[in-house]
Structure 1
Amino acid sequence: MTMDQSAVKEIQKSQAIATIDAAIHGKQLEKPVLAAPADFKLHNLEGYLPGRTRFRGAMRTIVLLDFISYSLDHRKDNDSACFVDPASMSAETIFNLGTDAKPGHADFSAKVNLVKTAEYKALLDINGHKLSQKQLAEFLEDYAENIVCYSPAGEVIPITEAVAAVRRLTIESSRKEDYEVQEFKSSRSDLENIEARSEKVLPAGFKFECTPYNDLSLRTFDLRLSVITGREAPALSVRIKRLESVQEDMGRELETKLSDAFSAEDTSEQKIETYIGSFSP
């Protein structure tokens, strides 16, 4: 009985695969590998089973307390870890991270993304921007309960007087010209002074108190007020002092809250380690 050419090739391929597999199994390999024909396909039959072979998924929330509760309810024996990202004010717990000796699949997690409060978002929206008198006056009126204005001398100004001062500004301008003529040269210099004044005491700045993110502590932001002249109408600029430093403090507060919450419930068998950073499996 003779065999066609294709059958001979398949037999040769099977023998070659068996030889390669035998050689591979004789080595001490760190990663499991297997020689198989290119047209072999693997099929996952999990969808046909009554349930999944293991629990996995991603829980997402904007509520810090729910994130803590879920993390504590689903933590595993020394397999869980929490990573805090101060830049995005978020944290992620990976429940099946595993250990160096026994790594897990790292595909079961919970993540919280803190959301800015309306007051903090409104404050950031005006930070560093040029505002009209009307825009700043309305901001002061809308958030009067959060604001304490102060004069250049550091004295507190009632919010009603601060609003009135912002709404009514007087721009005073004076110009001085100097001329000089000598035998071989002549020169001219212009000096113009522009000053913004108000019938009321114009605030030098103000303090804005709010909770920047839900579940975080109340904070006071110090702001500097500047008047920009040289345009058809004066503009006002508000800038938060040391904003980057305040944001770093909020990130550390988030990490501390999570570390304290997880440590309070820790046992030798079940604990969640907390780290600053992120993890990509």
Structure 2
Amino acid sequence: MSLTKEALQHIEASHKTGTEAAEGHALIVGDNFKLVDMEKYQDQRRRFRGQFRTKGLKDFISYVAGRKSEAPVFIDRDAMAACSYLDIGIPERPGHCDHSATLNLPKTPEFTAYLHADGSTFDQEEMVELVEDWGHLLEFENSKGEPLERTKVIHAFRKVSLEDLTNIESEKQEHSSRVGVMNSVTVKNAERLPAVIYWKLTPYEGLTERTLAMRVSSKTKGGPSFGLRAIALDAAKEEIAAEFAALVTDGLPESECLLGTFQP
């Protein structure tokens, strides 16, 4: 093994001539027998190493396909992520797994807003802001299944009010009497409010657009407010994850694509 000037200077600085190890790729130097990697003093690395991380589906596919590696691709459907250790090797000749490509597909802002709204309660002002911010994606339907216009929906949320109804029942008998008071609070003009909101959105970058439904319920305690709940969200997530896995698999026909994660 020929040594560069920098390598010789490093050895001299150790005050002791080194003993070669690891087939000449390292030296044992000093009284404490310190092992020094000589790779940084050589013209080239011993092997290619690096970690490619991306949020782009097409970029991940392009990078993995461009390396022409036989390494498997591991697809984590729950995390909407994929990873390939391009120098993993084979069981008979395992690699170091120093060269990897990782994809973490990000949620779109509109899908993040949808998930945030799910299970949340909004007052009148917050509900109006939600419809104004994302109205270009939304369609509305009342309890009868009839479509509602966005501008009228915004107006209905702004003008919503509560009606307090009190009903007194009185019953008198010969030896007893009973008075019952029933109190109920209802939302006036509820038919003008949407019962279901449909979000038309792309959940993750690179995936297809889909429509997700959200049910609206009115709450009367402490003033008018509205609860939102996603409809069949778990089923939609399964469909989204299946589409993601299919896109990675179809984009890398030469690679073995496996569902799961791998820890080297």
Same-fold status (TM-score > 0.5):
yes
Q: CA deviation at 1:57?
A: 1.3
Contact 1:165 1:200 in 2 (8 A): no
Q: CA deviation at 1:238?
A: 1.3
Q: Which residue of 1 aligns with 2:259?
A: 276
Across the two proteins, how many residue pairs are aligned to each other? 233
Equivalent position SS for 1:96: coil
1:166-205 paired onto structure 2 within 5 Å: 166-176=157-167, 191-198=182-189, 201-205=192-196
Q: CA deviation at 1:186?
A: 9.9
| CA shift digits 1:148-178 (9 cap, x unpaired) | 1001011111111111111111211223466
Aligned partners of 1:247, 1:64: CA distance in 2, in Å?
Answer: 18
Q: Which amino acid aligns with 2:248?
A: L
TM-score scaled by length of structure 1: 0.75
Confirm or deny that 1:244 pairs with 2:234: yes
- Call closer, same or farther: CA 1:85–1:191 in 2, change over 3 Å: farther
Confirm or deny that 1:67 pairs with 2:69: no
Aligned partners of 1:199, 1:240: CA distance in 2, in Å?
Answer: 20
Q: CA deviation at 1:65?
A: 0.5
Q: Which residue of 1 aligns with 2:122?
A: 131
Aligned partners of 1:104, 1:181: CA distance in 2, in Å?
Answer: 92
Q: Which amino acid aligns with 2:166?
A: R
| CA shift digits 1:16-68 (9 cap, x unpaired) | xxxxxxxxxxxxxxxxxxxxxxx654332212111110001110111110110
Equivalent position SS for 1:110: strand
TM-score scaled by length of structure 2: 0.80
Contact 2:143 2:195 in 1 (8 A): yes
Confirm or deny that 1:165 pairs with 2:148: no
1:1-281 paired onto structure 2 within 5 Å: 40-76=33-69, 78=70, 80-176=71-167, 191-198=182-189, 201-231=192-222, 233-263=223-253, 266=254, 272-281=255-264
Greater share of strand residues, 1 or 2?
A: 2
Q: Which amino acid aligns with 1:234?
A: P
Q: CA deviation at 1:198?
A: 2.7
- Call closer, same or farther: CA 1:187–1:62 in 2, change over 3 Å: farther
> What do you get for the CA RMSD once the two structures are aligned?
2.6
